Structure 1
Amino acid sequence: MKSKLILLGIFIVAILAYLLIEPLNLWVNTSLSVIKEATVDLNLNVMAEYLRSFGSITWVVSFALMVLSCILAPIPAFIITLTNAAVFGWLNGAILSWSSAMVGAVMCFYIARILGRDVVLKIISKQALDKSDEYFQNYGVHTILICRLLPFVSFDLISYAAGLTSMKFSKFFIATGIGQLPATLVYSYFGKNLDGSGKVVFIALLAVFALSIVIYISKSIYEKRKAKQNA
């Protein structure tokens, strides 16, 4: 009960700050608009120029945007990951993207666990949540490992859905960290050669999708062989 009240208090303060502090309101709205433009037009230079405009605190802005994208469905986090690599370099960009995504995932997990399903349904659709519930019932923690690799599966959806299950936080955190790493590395690899065109985004998405298929098939083969050995 205490943790729920604390989280509710944080939400109320955040909403009031957004509504009453004009610079914060402007930053959030502008940032969301830039991310939307970069996603729709597949022009990553828009995102890169926006981040660079913040100078020495660029990494702080990027970190905050990643966390924001994880909480607010359905903002595409991969756009930020690609841009981070272009702005900060492959390794630094990957570290920044992975760590900020992990913070966002943890926040989603605890929002769901503490505030419950009714609050989550105000953020994501009931249909999407019901579908993710089905996956968690059938595949448990493996749902996180696979879905973190799939570019068309909402990052925040899986985090929220996991928080509504009885899954231990430690299992969620480890599975998220492992599952998120390959996608982050692939996006960062392509993002370091950012040329502003949609080609980079398209190739990166295909690479991550292909990687997810390979991992899923390998996992299925391993489980079948293990089942035969135990039979």
Structure 2
Amino acid sequence: MLRSTRNLKNKIILYSSWIIIIVLVILAFIYHNELKLIYSDPEAVKQFISGFGIYAPIVFILIQTFQVVLLIIPSSVFTISGGYIFGVTLGTIYSLIGIMIGSIFVFYISRKLGRSFVERIINKKELEHFDVFFKKRGNIALFAARIIPVLFPTNAVSFSAGLTPMKFKDYIMFSFLGFIPSLFVLAFFGKELSHGINLGMIIILSVLGFGILAYLFRHEIKVFFIKEIKEYEKILEGDIKKYV
């Protein structure tokens, strides 16, 4: 009886999750033009979000939640927009709420649907690197990954964490604490956009440029700086050579 009830609960969760994902995909299709504005015109984004009036924060939080689940646009882009629209403090808070909701949902889906599902949507190397890092460092690996999202993308980490034996409460706590510094910095960058081109903006753009480069070469950087991942790649390379 208990097993039957548990199976029914899991099926309900599974079907509900798929319904939510399908709804989000449909919304992405409907509002694809608005999503493109995130890249091209910060002022247009501000006008779009602000157009919802008192509901603007709720809409922004939903968008942040939405992007974590669907992996359409990096969360950093939205967080910068949040700083531009709401200012540093509120931009950070709203981004944190949205990303936490999305990350919790992704963690739960990953844990329920398992590795075979996750490997279809997340780069295998991202999963392997986090696996190796987590096995050696435990929950601190999650905290570090949240602080430096250019090396460990938010979405990939959330899916990867769901495949580990990590406790749910630890996932929430270390994610929450790790998100705050990076979200604050990105919101600050967004706020500076409203000041036009000045010395501060030039510095910020330089940092963002460095961040983009770090993201593009994140696997190489992780291998260079993180001992566990470096050792894993050496073992993997050795195994490949055996069959060449």
Q: Partner letter of residue 32 of structure 1? A: L
Report the Cα offset of residue 160 of structure 1: 1.0
- Matched with 2:234 is none
Report the Cα offset of residue 52 of structure 1: 2.5
Distance 1:171 1:24, change over 3 A: closer
3-state secondary structure, aligned to 2:192? coil
- Matched with 1:183 is 182
Q: Partner letter of residue 135 of structure 1? A: F
Query: 2-side partners of 1:181 and 1:148: how far apart?
Result: 9
3-state secondary structure, aligned to 1:151? coil
Which of 202, 207, 225 is the equivalent residue of 1:203? 207
- Matched with 1:33 is 36
3-state secondary structure, aligned to 2:128? helix
Deviations 1:66-92, CA, capped at 9 Å, x for gaps? 111111236211121121122122221
Distance 1:137 1:3, change over 3 A: farther
Q: Partner letter of residue 75 of structure 1? A: I
Distance 1:25 1:126, change over 3 A: same
3-state secondary structure, aligned to 2:193? coil
Q: Partner letter of residue 26 of structure 1? A: I
User: Which of structure 1's runs of 4+ aligned residues deviate more than 6 A?
Assistant: none
Deviations 1:134-183, CA, capped at 9 Å, x for gaps? 11112111111111121312101111111111110111111001101111
Count of equivalent residues: 201
- Matched with 1:194 is 193
Which of 93, 104, 109 is the equivalent residue of 1:95? 93
TM-score scaled by length of structure 2: 0.71
The answer (yes or no) to whether the contact 1:70–1:77 under 8 Å persists in 2 is: yes
Which of 13, 16, 37 is the equivalent residue of 2:19? 13
RMSD between superposed Cα atoms in Å: 2.8
Q: Partner letter of residue 102 of structure 1? A: M
- Matched with 2:81 is 83
TM-score scaled by length of structure 1: 0.75
Query: 2-side partners of 1:18 and 1:127: how far apart?
Result: 26
Q: Partner letter of residue 141 of structure 2? A: T
Query: 1-side partners of 2:28 and 2:76: how far apart?
Result: 24
Distance 1:136 1:10, change over 3 A: same
1:156 equivalent in alignment to 2:177: no
3-state secondary structure, aligned to 1:121? helix
Report the Cα offset of residue 201 of structure 1: 5.1
Query: 1-side partners of 2:42 and 2:205: how far apart?
Result: 8
Q: Partner letter of residue 36 of structure 2? A: S
